[in-house]
Chain A
């Protein structure tokens, strides 16, 4: 495995675990909102916010796990060089765009519609799709 791959794997491992920690903390905060019946979160009129922030928490945590999976994948695919930077960068971008879009979408809601921050989500989904596609292709080509 090239040194670049090792460095990248280390980067994703770090990003992954810190992301999981951040979004688990957000999850705990959301649970606290439930426990304290915080009106900004549990009132019926804030149903959309509740959904958006739950999605931000879930997507953030899963993306953290994807970073860890990518780190493991990089160590298992030493021959993968060509598209790994794309996969890596797209996953990093998705980690910001997807949970960030959901979170911002829940900050200001329009009735049943999330706030304009939600437009980040399809962009995040797109770059996540690109990243996962590159990883899947690399696994097919370079897997043992």
Chain B
């Protein structure tokens, strides 16, 4: 169309316009082209009309919400940085612009059925083929764009969305069954977007469930996490600022605009709560709020006191294990109450001593509009500066305080006080509970400590000796002889629960840890993890293994058959055995000749914690 119009314009310029016949011809051709374009207009994917026909949640401007489109005109930089963020892409209408997966022509087998992916114009379908029957589903909404992308079908019941059974892994460029994208077996309940994802992947939601029929007439102010999720409804702000005198008075004044919530201008507590509306472990605070939730959603708006509407769930330290892996305490927290899954950083932040001071919030280190979209750390906050902005007295004695060379990874504040003990999206992430390392957290509560997540080859006994020597806090926890002598990371990988095994496997590919601990001994342990019962553990082990020079081209499919996985373990051990070692070290399960002490390893593996683990990331 564009090319046609281009040619027509050129033609128009060439036609001697004094010739009335030529002029008439140009007008007629342009009119015909316009009419053709108009007549071919159909509801395109993503349009409001399409939302009605495809029965997906509607985006409406109600209750004072005006959508990000209204913000763009006055705040182009903020709009642009938000548009580049993964907050925006948490929910998108499926269009050729939003789908990042390899779609058309893909055919997958899962659950005894064949799933055939097809694209027609700008619409995306998955055909479910079960024997002779063929059911066509249209993917109408997607989730995510950074690590993974998931797709949702209209179930046909109101505006309810149900999940397509496959997830696209962005970095790996491959489809995997959705069930395998989490650590642990999922509950046998089909995910419904309108009751599950909606609360954090949309702005100002109303599930709209009919109390009698259960049918969902879901409406949101905006799909994805948009401006008004953090700034509150903008209608009044937009209306007031149509007045240019008001705007310029505000430009010349540093006090900000009271007609909109600015997370950097409210108190640190309220600011953190704005993030905490999603990044927390919480539930509706009262029975009444719980009951009305599926109809009207949450009444919380940015700037409100979150704890008036949300009960923040915390696991008391040492709380006994219910034995149910789906229990929110087991699936979300370590036994010492520290969150172990991603996306729940508010709990950790508010549990930290930094927060108790009253000036600390998420925005102390993060920025939504001046940051890399991947982790949204504010400029300069990637290193020690984040901590030194308050703890400036440490700046000149980092080496003295950390007992590590000042320029080493061991002297970095984050590495000791915010270790990667959180799991999500097939990787380990930093804990947001700022604490000093201790062996108690590992021995009594199972949470790997910062020292042994870097010094992978060292034992808890080694860590205890150093912590006792360096710091006044007593390390009185009693551990076994095995824990005193053997590498803590190896033990987590061999006998830990699935979460511990996953973290150990991830750290065996973490460069700062490999630099400190050496990389020539981890392959057998990663090889063992290639045969782990949990897909997420196998995935992380393979990713770490590939970072070792001898394993760059190691061929393995973490979703392969158990037989293929067992063979991969044998191949990994064989490859490792080919490498020469001078002498073995007992603490990392090596015989004096440098070979793997297979008997000792097998003995520990027999004691693996096989209790089911489900990490509710």
Interface residues of A (CB under 8 A from B): 43-48, 110-113, 116
Contact = CB atoms under 8 A, between A and B. Distances in A.
B77 A113 contact: no
Contacts of B248: 113, 116
9 contacts: A44-B77, A45-B76, A47-B76, A111-B76, A112-B73, A112-B74, A112-B76, A113-B74, A113-B244
A142 B69 CA distance: 52
Contact of A44 (B74, B80, B251): B80
A45 B80 contact: yes
Contact of A45 (B74, B77, B251): B77
Contacts of A43: 80
Chain B at the A interface: mostly helix, strand, loop or mixed?
Answer: helix
B287 interface: no
Nearest to B75: A111
Nearest to A44: B80
Interface in B330-345: none
A112 B80 contact: no
B251 A113 contact: yes
A98 B251 CA distance: 22
Contacts of B72: 112
B72 to A, nearest CB: 8
A136 to B, nearest CB: 28
Contacts of A113: 74, 244, 247-248, 251
A44 B247 contact: no
B78 interface: yes
A45 B80 CA distance: 7
Contact of B74 (A46, A111, A116): A111
B73 A110 contact: no
Nearest to B78: A111
Interface in B420-470: none
Interface of B: 72-80, 244, 247-248, 251
**Most chain A beta-carbon contacts within 10 A, residue among B72, B78, B251:** B251
Which residue, A43, A110, A111, A116, has most C-beta atoms of chain B within 10 A? A111
In the complex, which of the residues B74, B77, B78, B80 has the most CB atoms of chain A within 10 Å of its own CB atom?
B77
Contacts of B77: 44-45, 111
Nearest to B74: A112
Nearest to B76: A47
Nearest to B369: A45
Nearest to B252: A116
A110 B251 CA distance: 7
A17 to B, nearest CB: 26
A15 to B, nearest CB: 32
Nearest 10 pairs of A and B residues by beta carbon: A45-B77, A112-B74, A44-B80, A110-B251, A47-B76, A111-B75, A112-B73, A111-B74, A113-B247, A45-B76
Nearest to B77: A45
Nearest to A113: B247
Contacts of B244: 113
Given A111-B75, A112-B76, A113-B244, 13 more contacts: A43-B80, A44-B76, A44-B80, A45-B76, A45-B80, A47-B76, A110-B251, A111-B77, A112-B73, A112-B74, A113-B247, A113-B251, A116-B248
- Residue in A44, A47, A112, A116 with the greatest tally of chain B CB atoms within 10 Å: A112
Contacts of B73: 112
A113 B77 CA distance: 12
A53 to B, nearest CB: 15
A116 B244 CA distance: 11
Contacts of A112: 72-76
A48 B255 CA distance: 23
Contacts of A48: 76
A47 B247 CA distance: 18
A30 B251 CA distance: 27
Contacts of A46: 76
A47 B73 CA distance: 9
B582 to A, nearest CB: 55
Contacts of A44: 76-77, 79-80
A107 to B, nearest CB: 14
Contacts of B80: 43-45
A113 B243 CA distance: 12
Contacts of B251: 110, 113
B73 to A, nearest CB: 5
Contacts of B247: 110, 113
B64 to A, nearest CB: 21
A110 B79 CA distance: 14
Contacts of A45: 76-77, 80
Nearest to B73: A112
A44 to B, nearest CB: 4
A109 to B, nearest CB: 9
A111 B369 CA distance: 13
A119 B481 CA distance: 79
Nearest to B72: A112
Contacts of A110: 247, 251
A8 B73 CA distance: 44
Contacts of A116: 248
A58 B75 CA distance: 25
A61 B248 CA distance: 29
A115 B115 CA distance: 57
B303 to A, nearest CB: 21
